[in-house]
Amino acid sequence: MNHLRAKDWAALKPPLLRFLDACHADFAAETGGNVADYIPELGKADPDHFGISLATLDGHVYEVGDSRIPFTIQSMSKPFVFALALDTLGAARVENAIGVEPSGDPFNSIRLNADNHPFNPMVNAGAITCSGLIREAKGDGAFEYIRSALGRFAGRELGVDEAVFTSESTTGDRNRAIGYLLRTNSVLKEDVSKVLEVYFRQCAILVTARDIAVMAATLANRGKNPVTGEQVMTPYAISRTLSVMTSSGMYDYAGEWIYRVGIPAKSGVGGGILAALPARLGLGSYSPKLDSHGNSVRGIGVCEALSAHYDLHMLNRSDDARNSIIADYNIGKSPSRRSRRPHERHILATHHQAVRIIELVGPLTFSNVDYISRQLAAKPRPQFVIFDLRRVAAMTRAGVRLLAEEFQELAAFNVTVILSGVRRSSADWKLIKEQAKGLTNLRDFYLLDTAIEWAEDQVVYRHGGAIDFHETTGLSEQPLLAGLSASEIEEIAALGAMRSYRSGERIVAAGDPSTSLFFLVSGVVHVSLPDGVRLATLTAGTAFGEMALLETYRTADVLADMSATALEIPLDAFERYREKHPRVGERIMRNLAQLLAERLIVANTKVDLLTAP
């Protein structure tokens, strides 16, 4: 059997990077197309430059070839400035000035639609109008406002190629004609020359293929830069921008593009192409040789290959809502980790269907929530339903709104909804609270076990029980000492000393030597891992620290939930007692084995719930 040597392993490449390498090698041989020369300075670009970059939504960036070579953004600035205009002036103002229909004409066509407005913001007339709207709002600071916004999309400050700006200004008569046509029809309110200066300068902003990939990934990530974590634009502005990119981003090649590639995209005559696949990735490429439509020949080849190879066409999604539920169970199959008194256990066993737990995974989308609601209705109505969201990767507004409407329906049936796994400081929680405003049947706990424990307590109360934090009178109720005689228990009790603990006090610390075991006499304690994950909640009549009988060092923390007392028995004294009374020692170890077996059964049940088909 072959094994990778250490040096071989270090050279191992992710499959996606290997694919981009292959694309670069394949399309580098493509010699078709011509470098744009109608702007003289663009004609100086090296036709052999070729870079590809891909950014994922978790902030990882792949780069191949000339991915760090700067070039001017040109028309790839259009979607970002359109989004900026929507956020700056409001949708009503922008949408009243610019249409959203494909034109079918070249990008620099001197033509308006039937309303004498630009067809869309991706053609020059629409882009010039966007620049004019920004200047209308920001005056002489308009360009710096645009440059700053594009920098936030890229995750760094972007410069300007002054030579290209001068070249575009000198040769931009066609754009001047478009500008005056817009002014004549009252689309532009500002001085045409000043608006065009902003437009020419924004087109001359310098970017790299890597920048474009991050900018595209920000579009794909609903306006949040996956590298910096900054929310650059509102989701509204981003969704509208992607819509227009889908229909018009590739000019008079847009129909063919969306048919063959199926990813919202925008090209620039500087040789760049950006493609933003929502909720997936952002792609940036640079190669200056263009086809007859003004699109990079190699860039189109890369996008087509990526879409075809990984089946990324946006209308060929295969997400299955049935995969959104990873586990669906009640407290009869997986109760909380709280130790319960016999009368509590009896009530919870009798009413185990009163608490239903649904653990969710993946994105919380419209179709996923619809499926979840139907699964909820397919089983007997619980008194409490817990939605565990800790594995939910993202929440859409449509999904959360439908979920809030489900909460309202459950409230009508007197079902209490409990959420777990969402921090109150998160954007997801704010979205939930916004959509579920006014609901009185909604509770939340960050830890799932805490949520289950709270629901169990309510069931006990509702069915005539009580959660009594009693004080035991001896050790006879201790499962670890089951089967021992009263005199034997008294001898064991005499080995230790009574300790008192304040609420929140750490009784046992992970990593410390195991020197004693404890029998809880009153109060409540909890056992947790060092990272804060709660393993168990213990009440009077149970032991803790008993793993000292098997392990040299503590593996978990024990903290008092409220004032507590416990009998602490030094391990060396306990061991001497076991040597003196081997039959008793054997019985205690058998009891410990039984307790461990019961814990293993509970753990296995949980695994079965998570792996059930």
* Domain ranges across the chain: 15-310, 321-462, 479-608
In this prediction, residue 610 has a pLDDT band, given cuts at 50, 70 and 90, of low
189 part of the active site: no
The model's pLDDT over 302-352, given as tens digits with 9 standing for 90+, comes to 999 999 998 889 887 766 777 888 889 999 888 887 877 778 889 999 999
CA-to-CA distance for 57 and 221, rounded, in angstroms? 6
- Out of 53, 77, 199, 422, the active site residue is 199
Which residue in 269, 417, 459, 524 is the catalytic one? 269
Q: Residue 469: its pLDDT value, please?
A: 57
Residues 512-538, mean pLDDT to the nearest whole number: 85
What's the pLDDT band for 471 if we cut at 50, 70, 90? low
Contacts of 378 (CB under 8 A, 6+ apart): none
Is 67 annotated as a binding-site member? Answer: no
Which pLDDT belongs to residue 4? 46
Reported as a single tens digit per residue, the pLDDT across 365-393 is: 888 888 998 898 888 899 999 999 999 88
Known catalytic membership, residue 145: no
Checking if the pLDDT of 200 tops 90, the result is: yes
pLDDT in tens, 53-88: 999 988 999 999 999 999 999 999 999 999 999 999
| Residue 116 marked as a ligand binder | no
Spatial separation of the C-alpha atoms in residues 361 and 342, rounded to whole Å:
35
Tell me the pTM. Answer: 0.68
Query: If you compute the radius of gyration of the chain from its CA atoms, what whole number of angstroms results?
Result: 33
The CATH number of the structural domain formed by 479-608 is 2.60.120.10
DSSP string covering 541-573, please?
Answer: T-EESGGGGT-SB--SEEEESSSEEEEEEEHHH
- Segment 192-196 shows an average pLDDT of 94
What pLDDT was estimated at residue 285?
A: 97
Q: Which residue has the higher pLDDT, 66 or 292?
A: 66
Q: For residues 348 and 365, what is the distance between their CA atoms, to the nearest angstrom? A: 34
Is residue 446 marked as binding? no
Mean pLDDT of 545-572: 87
For 403-420, write each residue's pLDDT tens digit: 888 888 888 889 999 999
Selected residue with higher pLDDT from 33 and 367: 33
In this prediction, residue 248 has a pLDDT band, given cuts at 50, 70 and 90, of confident
The distance from CA 288 to its chain's CA centroid, rounded to whole angstroms, is 36
Judge contact between 337 and 535, C-beta under 8 A: yes
Decide: residue 469, CB within 10 A, 0-12 exposed, 13-18 middle, 19+ buried. Answer: middle
Return the CATH number of the domain spanning residue range 321-462: 3.30.750.24
266 three-class SS = strand
Q: Residue 33 carries which DSSP code?
A: S
Measured in degrees and rounded to the nearest 5, phi and psi for residue 384 equal: -135, 140
- Is the C-alpha dihedral spanning 350, 351, 355, 359 positive or negative? positive
Pairing of the two strands 325-330 and 355-364: antiparallel
Answer whether residue 603 shows pLDDT above 80: no
**Is residue 441 part of an annotated ligand binding site?**
no
What's the CA gap between 536 and 602, in Å, rounded? 12
The tokens for 506 are: 């750490």
Point out the catalytic residue in the list 78, 224, 266, 289. 78
Angstrom distance (rounded) from CA 520 to CA 546: 12
75 included as an active-site residue = yes
Q: How far is 409 from 369, CA to CA, in rounded Å?
A: 14
Structure tokens at 120: 């869309």
- Determine the CATH number of domain 15-310: 3.40.710.10
Highest mean pLDDT among 258-262, 426-430, 539-543: 258-262
Q: Is 591 annotated as a binding residue?
A: no
What's the pLDDT at 104? 72
